[in-house]
Amino acid sequence: MKSDIKRNCFLFPGQGAQFPGMGKDLWETSSVVKKLFAEASEWTETDIPKLLFESGEDELKRTENTQIAITAVNLASLIMLKDEGITPDAVAGFSLGEFSALAAAEVLNFEELFPLVKKRGEIMAAAAERLSAGENGPGMAAVMGLAPEAVQELCEKSGLELYAANFNSPEQTVVGGTHEALLKGKEYFSTRGARRWIPLKVSAPFHTPLMEEARQEFAEHVRKLVFRDPKITLISNVSGKTVSSGTEAQELCLAQVISPVRWTTEEETILTLKTDICIEAGPGKVLSGLWKKTGSEVPCLNAGTLEEIENIRKSYSS
């Protein structure tokens, strides 16, 4: 019996949360997770357990590997929580994590989702290689100390090919742009109130218009699928708001490739839903860390390991 928890929201992490060996305790313990990984291996033509448990850090962080690996662990966490009787009332996912949210909301089933995520990873990896050819490829940087809205406005006024990409927290926004734009961006933002400018080691300017070619290629695969209406509340990266239909979810799935992740807006939406608890369903603690920066009293618990899931079960039964 739930104590005073009436409404939850599951948060699914994205690329960057991965680490070698993630999900192993879930796989060793649960026959349902074993079945999921076996089926996902068939659907993606990839040995998922080998990828998760035998890969080194460098192999795992390759985009084409990372995306199916994180999705597998996100969904393993989801089904383990469901086995404990803890089902999501609302879902949101950060970037790649939004695809796990689509599955949790039953917009796509697992068999549809895994091949799509694999294709997304391959397209993103190819785009990164194409864009980074030569010494002066585009990239990304974190802007610290300015509100997300201010960063976006400054990008738009800069006259540079510089775009807001991830609204991570009230004081941290990631921008993406061309090599020239990033070189000029540090001085541009520092003279307009930014506390720090941190170049990021990423392979491409994800979630910016510079990824348009990748969006077009991905569209060929997204359009082949039927996106169903969400069975539970689904929150979008692109709008930061709830998604009303499968048709809308499909369009947002494509727009996400070239649009910023409005995570701070999603967090605001989650709070308007009168959420009592958030659960980070997947590896790492990135999203729970970002949640703390909201200042909300609503807790965000981690559910990436067997021990963490057991602790959540106790929270529900106490």
Which residues carry out catalysis?
95, 207
Give the closest residue to 236 by CA, choosing from 219, 248, 224. 248
Sheet holding 233-234, edge to edge: 233-234, 90-93, 8-12, 277-280, 300-302
Give the closest residue to 174 by CA, choosing from 9, 36, 14. 14
Give the closest residue to 94 by CA, choosing from 207, 181, 192. 207
- Residue 299's CB: how many other CB atoms inside 10 A? 14
The answer for residues whose C-beta is within 8 angstroms of residue 186's C-beta and 6 or more apart is 141, 197
Q: Are 256 and 237 in contact (CB under 8 A)?
A: yes
Give the burial class of 156: count Cβ atoms within 10 A of its Cβ; 0-12 exposed, 13-18 middle, 19 or more buried. exposed
